[in-house]
Amino acid sequence: MVRDRPRTVRCQVAEDVRAEMVSTVYQVVVSAGEEVDEGDTLVILESMKMEIPVLAEVAGKVTSVDVKVGDVIQQGDLIATIS
């Protein structure tokens, strides 16, 4: 007797990329609709005269970029969403 195996359903879960500190957006490297790999640079922040790259923690499609160059962002602010 052959049993039917349960079907695997993949759910798309969005990954929010948030600021870890107060900083200024120095450069936006990606735009909405682009595919990124884990470790790709999304934006570059500036804080205390240091440039800090914000990296994708997951591979996927950038569904939104919520900052622009010159924005001052606070800890926890949404930078981008990847799904």
pLDDT of residue 78: 97
* DSSP codes of every residue in 22-82: SEEEEEE---TT-EE-TT-EEEEEEETTEEEEEEPSS-EEEEEE---TT-EE-TT-EEEEE
Q: Are 71 and 78 in contact (CB under 8 A)?
A: no
pLDDT of residue 58: 94
pLDDT of residue 11: 45
pLDDT of residue 10: 44
pLDDT in tens, 49-71: 999 999 999 999 999 999 999 99
| Token pair belonging to 83 | 């799904």
Low-confidence ranges of the chain (pLDDT < 50): 8-11
